[in-house]
Structure 1
Amino acid sequence: MTTARAPLHLAVLVLLSGLFFFWGLGSTGLTDRDEGRNAEAGREMLERGDWISPTFNYEPRYAKPVLVYWLMSASYHFFGVNERAARLPSAVFGLALIMMTYWFLTRLRDPVTGLIGALMLLLNLQIISLSRMALTDSVLIFLTTLALYAFWLGFQAADRHPAWLWLLYIAMALGTLTKGPVGFLVPLLTIALYLTATKQWRPFWREGKPLAGTVVFALLALPWYVTMWRLHGSDYAAAAQANTVGRFLNPMEGHGFSFLFYVPVLLIGFFPWSGWLPFAWYQAYRSWRNNGVAGQRDSGIRELEWFTALWILGTFVFFTLSSTRLPHYIGPLFPAAAILTALYWSRCVTVPNTTGAYAAIHTVMLLGFLLAGAFATLPWAYENYLSAKLVKEFPLATQFTLGIGPYAAATMLLIGMALVGYFGLSEQRRGGAFWAAGASLACVILIVTQLIMPGINRIFIAPPQELAYAAGLNLNPSEPFIAYGSTRPSLAFYARRHVLFIPANETERLRESLAHEGRTMILLPETMQRSLPTEAATFQPILKRYGYLLLSSQPMVKIPEGAPPPPSAVPPVLGH
């Protein structure tokens, strides 16, 4: 393995990861619902000192296993309780994923292919988004990828060493502690497909340590689950089943969507490299059909292409068959997509007349032009359609404008796709198409984060969070804080206390909650103030932010002297 270029490559990857994963990590408030729930569960774990049983809003949270909450709690301990610390584990594991992929491809191929594959994995909408959010997915993707890299290095690579196989089982166990059964199902499904396609089940049973590995997996993954079952009994078992088998068999929280849902998710989420991906996958399939079916083996790059193609296929089909579908579910296939596409791209650049090369360039350009059109029409669509749909939940939605950001993004995409065509449609200049595509995506991401997201945060995300923070500073633990007409989990994170979430149609429950001596505070959209019951008639508005009100049963609110400053994404609460 040539290593002369490695320091430069690593510097580029660290710099870009810092720019896209870490820079401004705490500049926006937590999104709802998953970010708010996860961040608050980690905060409560640190506050309570209970490292076994996660809670949200001081009630048991059985939806996800414990590993991510451990990571968030550790981050809070060292860096304080804020959005940046909540998201830091995702960014760190995103960086680790990029570095691991560079090392893996460099070891198996060469440093240039390693750099190309790592950049393809870094520069796409899905991985950047997941590495900047307080979700479980960045950690899960790293661990499922580590498991499959370890399988390849321990069982299939030319310089394989069986010690790598232990890491396969360790990574699956940690993945299971991150997001449940999917932590081992994604790797096992990929491995099963590969062993079946290459007729290697017998060698794997002999060399793959399946029995000893299962023991290692069980020793690492099962103790927490057994402890939770012993502590919480049938309540935990029922909730765990509902969030695993139940989520697969039945749509949950309205997230059913179409059977073809993941086709546009993959095309947009892996853009711009998604234009090359279908052709790369087909070439891998054709290679297997011409060689693998006949039993002709290739322990080198071609067989790695078969492996990554099956990794993509198995993960894509598995989550398509699931009744609950969300964009980030297919995240574990993105490392395979990056490797397969990088290997195909290497041939497009070095081998004349590579099958599909011209069609792939045209596909990239078509996707880019369509995405540019979507950005260009977004302000019109928002003003004439979307804003009216959002105004019930976001009071000032109709007064918000997207500004020049979407037009700037559309312009960069048009320029970028023109350059992709200029370079990519000429075999002599084709190498430049990769850099043009990557640069256009990078510019779009910067435009979104620097021009579009600040306005979205100011109007749609931060206002109720700012008021929740103020309420938390001024209420004793026994005094109620009511979020009326809003069920945003992030409010509990900013209030640093229990929040009584009451939907707008449950006025009787609100009346009962107001029968409390001492201070009571209500956070609600300004438009709902008139619908409050008579018991709240004496409540005075004390703070207002962009269409949201904080009411108090006692008119004066005093911010305690010496109170800690608001979280980084929360500006002063008075006014507006």
Structure 2
Amino acid sequence: MKNLLQCFQITAPHKIQVRYIMLLITALYLFNFHVNDIWTPNESFYAESVREMFETGNFIDIQYNYRPRYNKPPLTYWAIALSSSIFGLNEFGIRLPIILMALGSIWLTYLLGKKLYSPKAGLYAMCIMAVSVQLIAVKQYASPEVPLTFFFTLTMYWFIRAYTENRNKYYYLAYIALGLTVLTKGYPYIIVIGGIIGFYLLLDNQFNLKVWFKKLLQIKLHIGLPIVLIIGLSWVIYMYLTYGQDFWEIFQHETFERAFTRDEKSMRPFFYVEVISWTILPYSLAFFVALGYYLFNYKNIRKELGFAFSWFLVMFIIFTAAKGKIPTYFIQAHPPMALILTAFLINKPDISKPFRLIKQYSFLLPGLIILGASFALVYIFSLSVIWYTVPLLSSVLIFSILRHHRKNEVQSQMIAVPFYAIIGAYILLGAYLKPLEQFRPYKGIGEIINSNENIDKDTPLQIDGTLIHNMPFYAERKVIRQDTLVNIIQYTQPTLALIREEHMNEFKDVEVLWEGYIYDFASESQFAKFIKASLKAEKGDYSDFAVFKLIYRQ
């Protein structure tokens, strides 16, 4: 019982504590991760491309909706295909590798904290990384952000082990991991990771260029770069030799020009400051306090957090300078942010009493606010009253932690309060994922189509004036998305179409196979807007939805 209480308070013996926290995080990440239909749009590209891989037996030439998809390298597709071959081509099999790589990224953050500082630091970094809002938001949807984070962090872990232990085998493992990073998202990440390592070597050697150059020779670039290029560019070379300029123009635009070619509209120097303000909630406020402390006491940076600071700073500069600015681009900076915040806790800087209070409340206050908001979530989501037990239990646990602590356990308290508060909120959000499916009828539409023996597999599905990216996956056929009403009317072959209700008077002698509401906004990826629309629909306001009818005409 004593060990259990210590586990809750994050003060248990290290191995016991790590097992408990990792088990809790794993349970959170697995909770209801497979209950939603394939999410539109980005997840749809990966799910459908993998389905077509199995359909054609070709796992190299990636297609979506039966057209070549040159946009991204193949490693995420292959990971999903491997999982689906074991667990089935369904939401569970498609999302499982993403969940596992998210957990792997959390574990690597723990190992980095343990390596750079102490076992307790690793534990704190693990907690911060695990509950960050942005990672939770993408942890279960099939897209390259989480695999990229995993291989990126793996590269950094092997590098710092090689550099601090002076062991060549770890350099080679780092280069293999970098090659896999490139095979996940593209060759610009050679520049990003190379910039981080190059700047860290400068910082660690006090900007002595002579020593820096010697360090560059020690990291085996002459062996490592060929390893990276062979692994990372193998698919690119194959695709260029097969498809030539058609492939290269799209791939180059998606992997380099879209991110790094500047225009005036990309001049948003504070974009990622705004992102940081929420992306690692509930620890964002504390991160700004920690970063402010280190920038003011810059002499401590090299000694206390040179590696993490180099990682964060180079990413911040590169992605601020880049044309493409999307919050998910910064997920790979979550590990160093967790490490910077951890260093701020572990190193116990000598600061004045007012700043100590600011430091303490920058952790505790967001946690207490989130705790209060959790009670409101049960009401807002119209969940059963039984779900009020989640914020109640969180409250009991948090106030127990606040009440029973010793002076040397304040650090654990500052980590534990926001950690448990936001886990409670995530459990409630996970509980709402299942009711949310009543407003996502895509799988049901696909089942109706595929169970109808009169509909030939070669008959495409035409969609009246909107984009529904996951319908190729569920309909298991080519889909003409955002088709015009005129094209559908004039189609001379057997017609299978999703038609807006107001256009139905244009069609005669058709069989209506299904009718219902479909979300009528550009994308479900703006999750908060979709939840808001769904909550309104639960109360009878379907203003964000449109009535569609699935028709078939022979």
Q: Same fold (TM over 0.5)?
A: yes
Question: Quick one: which amino acid aligns to residue 102 of structure 1?
Answer: Y
Aligned to 2:63: 55
What residue ranges of structure 2 are gaps of 5+ in the alignment? 1-11, 519-546
Q: Does 1:510 align with 2:518?
A: no
Please give the alpha-carbon distance, in whole angstroms, between the structure 2 residues aligned to 1:111 and 1:290: 21
- 1:478 is matched with 458
- State the partner residue of 1:334: 334
| Partner residue in 2 for 1:278 | 288
Deviations 1:428-451 (Å, cap 9, x if unpaired)?
66232321111001001111111x
* 1:474-553 matched pairs, under 5 angstroms: 474=452, 475-503=455-483, 506-512=484-490, 514-517=491-494, 520-524=495-499, 528-532=500-504, 534=506, 536-546=507-517, 548-553=547-552
Deviations 1:196-254 (A, max 9, x none): 333252132220111211111112122211110011111111101211233125699xx
Task: State the SS of the aligned residue for 1:403.
Answer: coil
Indicate yes or no: 2:33 matched with 1:25.
Answer: yes
**Secondary structure, aligned partner of 1:521:** strand
Mapped to 1, the partners of 2:505 and 2:241 lie a distance apart of 44
Distance apart, 1:192 and its partner CA: 2.1
2:102 to 90, 94, 98: 94
Aligned to 2:513, the other structure's residue is in SS state strand
Q: Write the mapping of 1:42-81 to structure 2, written as runs, cut at 5 A.
A: 42-81=50-89
Q: Structure 2: how far apart are the matches of 1:83 and 1:320?
A: 35
Asked if the contact 2:107/2:126 (under 8 Å) is kept, the reply is yes
Q: Relative to structure 1, is the Cα distance of residues 85 and 203 closer, same or farther in structure 2, using a 3 angstrom cutoff?
A: same
What does residue 252 of structure 2 align with? 241
Give the letter for the 2:239 counterpart.
M
Q: Secondary structure at the match of 1:50?
A: coil
Residue 244 of structure 2 aligns to a residue whose secondary structure is helix
- Larger mean Cα displacement after TM superposition, 430-439 or 68-77: 430-439
The answer to whether the 8 A contact 2:185-2:255 is kept is no
State the secondary structure of the residue aligned to 1:497. coil
* Contact 2:51/2:89 (<8 A) preserved: yes
**Residue 574 of structure 1: aligned partner:** none
For residue 382 of structure 2, the aligned residue among 400, 403, 410 is 403
Query: Is the contact between residue 541 and residue 550 of structure 1 (CA under 8 Å) also seen in structure 2?
Result: yes
Q: How far does the alpha carbon of each residue in 1:162-181 deviate from its partner, in whole angstroms, 9 at most, with x for none?
A: 22111221111111110113
Answering whether residue 148 of structure 2 is matched by residue 171 of structure 1, we say no
Query: Which amino acid letter does the alignment assign opposite residue 218 of structure 1?
Result: L
Aligned to 2:158: 150
Structure 1: runs of 5+ lacking an equivalent = 293-297, 381-400, 556-576
Find the residue that maps to 1:531 and give its secondary structure. helix
- Farther-moved stretch of structure 1 (51-60 vs 162-171): 162-171
Partner of 1:217: 228
Judging changes above 3 Å, is the alpha-carbon distance between structure 1 residues 416 and 179 closer, same or farther for their aligned structure 2 residues?
farther
Q: How does 1:186-205 map to 2 (within 5 A)?
A: 186-198=192-204, 199=207, 200-205=211-216
Confirm whether residue 306 of structure 1 aligns to residue 285 of structure 2.
Answer: no
Distance in structure 2 (CA, Å) of the matches to 1:106 and 1:365: 24
How far does residue 422 in structure 1 lie from its aligned partner after superposition?
5.4
Whether contact under 8 Å (1:257, 1:325) holds in the other structure is no
- Name the SS of the counterpart of 2:34 in structure 1: coil
Aligned twin of 2:140 = 132
* Distance change (3 Å), C-alpha of 1:342 and 1:541: same
Letter in 2 for 1:501: R
Structure 1 Cα separation of the partners of residues 400 and 271 of structure 2: 28
Give 2:427's aligned residue: 446
- Rounded to whole Å, the distance in 1 between the matches of 2:384 and 2:307 is 40
- Alpha carbons of structure 1 residues 14 and 236: separation in structure 2 relative to 1, 3 Å: same
What SS is found at the alignment partner of 2:168? coil
For residue 339 of structure 1, report the CA deviation from its aligned partner. 1.6
Q: Secondary structure at the match of 1:113?
A: helix
Displacement of 1:6 after TM fit? 5.4
AA of the residue aligned to 2:341: T
Distance in 2 (alpha carbons) for counterparts of 1:206 and 1:284: 31
Is the 8 Å Cα contact of residues 121 and 343 (structure 2) preserved in structure 1? yes
Matching residue within 259, 262, 265 for 2:272: 262
In structure 2, what residue type is equivalent to 1:539? V
TM-score normalized with structure 1 length: 0.78
SS at match of 2:35: coil
Q: Residue type matched to 2:125 in 1?
A: G
Specify the alignment match of 1:464 in structure 2.
Answer: 442
Q: Is the 2:73–2:185 contact (alpha carbons within 8 Å) kept by the matching residues of 1?
A: yes
Does the C-alpha gap of structure 1 residues 490 and 165 become closer, same or farther in structure 2, counting only changes over 3 Å?
Answer: same
SS in 2 for 1:553: strand
Q: For 1:508 and 1:337, locate their aligned partners in 2 and report how far apart those are by CA, in whole Å.
A: 53
Say which of 201, 222, 228 aligns to 2:239. 228
Check 1:89–1:235 CA distance in 2 against 1; reply closer, same or farther (3 A cut): same
Equivalent pair of 1:277/1:341 in contact (CA under 8 Å): yes
Alpha carbons 1:288, 1:306 under 8 Å: kept: no
Q: Cα–Cα, structure 1 residues 272 and 257, in superposed 2: closer, same or farther, change >3 Å?
A: farther
Shift of 1:134: 0.7
RMSD between aligned residues: 3.6
Moved >6 Å (runs of 4+): 369-380, 405-414, 423-426
Select the structure with the greater relative contact order (CA < 8 A; seq sep ≥ 6).
2
TM-score, normalised to structure 2, is: 0.81
- Counterpart CA distance in 1 for 2:97 and 2:493 is 40
Are 1:43 and 1:72, in contact at CA under 8 Å, matched by a contact in 2?
A: no
